[in-house]
Amino acid sequence: MKWLWVCCLLLSSLSVSAQALRVGFGTHKPPYIFENEARGLEHDIVMAAAQRGGLAPVAYYAPMERLNLMLSKGLIDVIATTNERSGGNIFYSNVYIRYQNVAVALRSRNLDIQRISDLGRYSVNAFQRARFLLGSEYQAMAETNPRYREEAFQIARNRMLYSGRVDVVVTDMRILRYFNREVYTQVDVTQPLTLYPIFAATGYKLGCRQQADCQRFNLGLETIRSNGEYVAIERRYAVH
């Protein structure tokens, strides 16, 4: 009975002390972020970990460049899908998710891409802040390639790829496959693709204005990993 009383007291204390946390997520990119449904693999992990850490998260959605500006101005408290490569005088949580980005082209283009620097020969479209998040070799390519562009809205990459308006897109394949469902009436998504696995998996963290927010998030993340909640969230989106 004593331990039950202690647990109830701790839970009550955690609930009372729950601190509002304004979380910046990027724009619609299923299965990681379903913007208009307040859910997604990444969304659910972040929200669950924050809650288990005694925080009361509220989601904000915007393009990544805008979110970084909002964070610098104090309009949000933390930003998702980032890491130290993105820069800024902020604190970072532990890695809570990994994306596996690839370079993708229509097979009919017959491109020769063996390494990241080879992308410099082609027109490339990637997600916002990829030039920072994907490492120094990628950043060097992006800064010297006049045909390199970053686009806030993920669905645009599918349209550009299948319509032939760009040689290569850089994306996570789960996102590309999902958006094929939404653009198949606009472009021919049955065209064969070639995948170039030139990137290591990218570990993403929360970027926090206050170190305490990262620390509480880390505690919550450890909790959902140990109690099975993290795996349950992964299973929820396994079909996507």
Distance spanning both ends of the chain, measured CA to CA: 45
Which residues lie closer than 8 Å to 214 by C-beta, 6 or more apart?
Answer: 78, 91, 92, 93, 206, 208
DSSP state of 59: E
Fold agreement (16-98+203-236, 101-196): yes
What is residue 66's predicted lDDT score, i.e. its pLDDT?
Answer: 96
Three-state DSSP class for 22? strand
H-helix or E-strand containing 91? strand 91-92
Helices (H), the chain: 2-16, 41-52, 64-72, 130-133, 136-144, 154-163, 173-183, 211-226, 229-236
169: which strand partners?
Answer: 104, 125
> Mean pLDDT of successive 10-residue segments in the chain (240 residues)?
42 61 96 95 98 97 96 97 91 97 98 98 97 96 98 95 98 95 97 98 97 98 98 91
What is residue 18's predicted lDDT score, i.e. its pLDDT?
Answer: 77
What is residue 17's predicted lDDT score, i.e. its pLDDT?
Answer: 62
CATH code that applies to domain 101-196: 3.40.190.10
Tokens of 68: 């970084």
Domain residue ranges of the chain, discontinuous segments joined by +: 16-98+203-236, 101-196
What is residue 185's predicted lDDT score, i.e. its pLDDT?
Answer: 97
Q: What is the fold, at CATH topology level, of the domain defined by 16-98+203-236?
A: D-Maltodextrin-Binding Protein; domain 2 (3.40.190)
CA 120 from chain centre, in angstroms, equals 24
